[in-house]
């Protein structure tokens, strides 16, 4: 592939130099309402490094063509870049084969794909699907739709007040009727890290496959699907510093092979007559139609960027930020942190006495600080804590302690304004 746009030096010094890393992200260098932008909404979507932006522009400027179809040079280059990105994802997740990497629109589509293919084939009347009380809506609604269609039941494993899964209760809910377990790796509303390996071990004792919603974990920690023994693992590129509209479903080959296709159309077939269609091999069986080629290439560039920085360093950096922020925010009178699990990452959700989170978000915005307020697509989590919403600061690889200080000053300002 041509590289007319020079990918800037990645600022991955041995030590984690966050100021240098910030230079890779053009969007961060702007004012918001006259204040330097403090972007703390990374759990919603993360900003893109120049290397990702360049990879997408390069593709459209030099290689734009359809994949798997043409014998001409551009199509060959596009196909090569697309399939190279699949291998990049394979290594990133430590999947055993690149055929286990299916490109989809994002975590939501990955989960819907499994519900509509594996689920419709294997879940029947009277069966159960088991999830947890800390799911994002995208790991609830597709299972509800499936259960409704099939006459099956959605079971929910409870959490304690800290936001930790009650493993004993979870285990009690596993049984002969359970046909699938679906869990988050990291809760977007609470920040809880879920003990996935323990859960797959318990579920596999009953031969139940486990789908892991990795939307929030993949940007924040090293994920090894083989070590986790996850049967399915779903990720979104846009939370991983890549483009929107693209994501990945990892599935164990033997499961993907046995599943019916998700959508019909071009590319997912080996041969078609009016009488019969023979489906393509995996992963193409699940990639009907022209895919988001630029998105896949951008995702590949994002993963390469993360790997150059080092997932272990990113994890350590965010861990320090979260610990620092938790200590400072907890000390502010009237503030309660929602989600205090022992094992947490990335996310600091909080409420303030007598103040609606929406007002907190608006005042912080005027200070140049972007946080998320609302139910975070996790209404049952809000119900569990008997609150309508929270304000949520979520950290990314480029955030700094100074930005945490700005957040803390902003929250104090909220107290003054609304007092
Ligand atoms: C835990 C979790 N799961 C799933 C999703 C859905 O991701 P997407 O909207 O990229 O499909 C999100 C997005 O916020 C999330 O945080």
Q: Do the beta carbons of residue 58 and residue 70 sit within 8 Å? A: no
What confidence score (pLDDT) does residue 14 get? 61
Q: Side by side, which strands form the sheet with 390-394? A: 335-338, 347-352, 390-394, 372-374
% residues pLDDT > 70 (the chain): 97
What confidence score (pLDDT) does residue 6 get? 52
Report, as an integer, the average pLDDT of 30-53. Answer: 98
Confidence of residue 4 (pLDDT cuts 50, 70, 90): very low
Kindly state if the Cβ of 237 falls inside 6 Å of ligand 1.
no
- DSSP secondary structure code for residue 285 in this structure: G
What is the spatial distance between Cα 332 and Cα 351, in angstroms, rounded to a whole number? Answer: 11
Task: Encode burial over 281-298: b for 16+ CB neighbours within 10 A, e otherwise.
Answer: ebbbbbbbeebbbbbbbb
pLDDT for 8 beyond 60:
no
Least-confidence region, from 67-71, 219-223, 342-346, 400-404: 67-71
Kindly state if the Cβ of 243 falls inside 6 Å of ligand 1.
no
Ligand 1 atom at shortest distance from the alpha carbon of 213? 3
Confidence of residue 419 (pLDDT cuts 50, 70, 90): confident
What confidence score (pLDDT) does residue 339 get? 97
| Mean of all residue pLDDT scores within the chain | 95
Active site residue 377: yes
By CB atoms closer than 10 A (0-12, 13-18, 19+), residue 202 is middle
Q: Find the helix or strand (DSSP H, E) in which 294 lies.
A: helix 293-309
pLDDT for 23 beyond 80:
yes
Report, as an integer, the average pLDDT of 224-230. Answer: 98
pLDDT for 2 beyond 90:
no
Ligand 1 atom at shortest distance from the alpha carbon of 236? 10
Report, as an integer, the average pLDDT of 124-146. Answer: 98
Kindly state if the Cβ of 108 falls inside 6 Å of ligand 1.
yes
Confidence of residue 295 (pLDDT cuts 50, 70, 90): very high
What confidence score (pLDDT) does residue 39 get? 98
Phi, psi of 194, rounded to the nearest 5 degrees:
-90, 135
- Which member of 202, 377, 387, 418 is catalytic? 377
What confidence score (pLDDT) does residue 5 get? 55
Q: Do the beta carbons of residue 236 and residue 254 sit within 8 Å? A: no
What confidence score (pLDDT) does residue 15 get? 83
What confidence score (pLDDT) does residue 13 get? 44
Confidence of residue 1 (pLDDT cuts 50, 70, 90): very low
pLDDT for 104 beyond 60:
yes
What confidence score (pLDDT) does residue 3 get? 43
Q: What is the value of pTM for the model shown? A: 0.96
Report, as an integer, the average pLDDT of 397-409. Answer: 98
Least-confidence region, from 94-108, 164-178, 291-305, 371-385: 371-385
Ligand 1 pocket: which of 112, 184, 236 to mutate (most atoms <8 Å of CB)? 236
Kindly state if the Cβ of 184 falls inside 6 Å of ligand 1.
yes
Length of the chain measured in residues: 419
pLDDT for 294 beyond 60:
yes
């Amino acid at each position: 592939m041509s590289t007319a746009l020079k990918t800037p030096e990645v600022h991955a010094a041995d030590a984690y130099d966050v100021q240098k890393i910030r230079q890779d992200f053009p969007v961060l260098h702007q004012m918001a309402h006259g204040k330097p932008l403090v972007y703390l909404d990374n759990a919603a979507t993360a900003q893109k490094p120049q290397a990702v932006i360049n990879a997408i522009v390069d593709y459209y400027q030099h290689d734009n063509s359809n994949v798997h179809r043409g014998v001409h040079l551009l199509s060959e280059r596009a196909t090569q870049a697309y399939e190279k990105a699949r291998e990049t994802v394979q290594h990133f997740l430590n999947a055993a084969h690149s055929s286990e990497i299916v490109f989809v629109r994002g975590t939501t589509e990955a989960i819907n794909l499994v519900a509509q293919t594996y689920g419709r084939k294997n879940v029947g009347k009277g069966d159960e699907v088991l999830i947890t009380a800390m799911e994002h809506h995208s790991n609830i609604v597709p299972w509800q739709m499936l259960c409704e269609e099939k006459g099956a039941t959605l079971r929910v494993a409870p959490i304690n007040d800290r936001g930790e899964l009650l493993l004993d209760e979870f285990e009690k809910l596993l049984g002969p009727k359970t046909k699938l377990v679906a869990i988050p790796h990291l809760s977007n509303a609470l920040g809880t890290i879920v003990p996935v390996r323990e859960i797959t071990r318990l579920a596999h004792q009953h031969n139940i496959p486990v789908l892991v919603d990795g939307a929030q974990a993949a940007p924040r920690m090293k994920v090894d699907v083989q070590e986790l023994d996850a049967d399915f693992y779903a990720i979104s590129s846009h939370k991983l510093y890549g483009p929107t509209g693209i994501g990945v479903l990892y599935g164990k080959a033997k499961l993907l092979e046995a599943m019916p296709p998700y959508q019909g159309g071009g590319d997912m077939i080996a041969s078609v007559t009016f009488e019969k269609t023979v489906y393509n091999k995996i992963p193409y069986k699940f990639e009907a139609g022209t895919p988001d080629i630029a998105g896949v290439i951008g995702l590949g560039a994002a993963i390469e960027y993360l790997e150059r920085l080092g997932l272990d360093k990113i994890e350590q950096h965010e861990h320090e930020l979260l610990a620092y922020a938790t200590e400072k925010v907890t000390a502010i009178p009237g503030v309660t942190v929602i989600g205090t699990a022992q094992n947490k990452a990335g996310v600091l959700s909080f409420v303030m006495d007598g103040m609606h989170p929406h007002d907190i978000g608006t005042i912080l915005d005027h200070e140049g600080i972007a946080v998320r307020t609302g139910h975070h697509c996790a209404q049952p989590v809000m119900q569990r804590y008997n609150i309508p919403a929270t304000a949520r600061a979520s950290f990314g690889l480029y955030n700094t302690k100074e930005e945490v200080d700005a957040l803390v000053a902003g929250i104090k300002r909220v107290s003054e304004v609304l007092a």
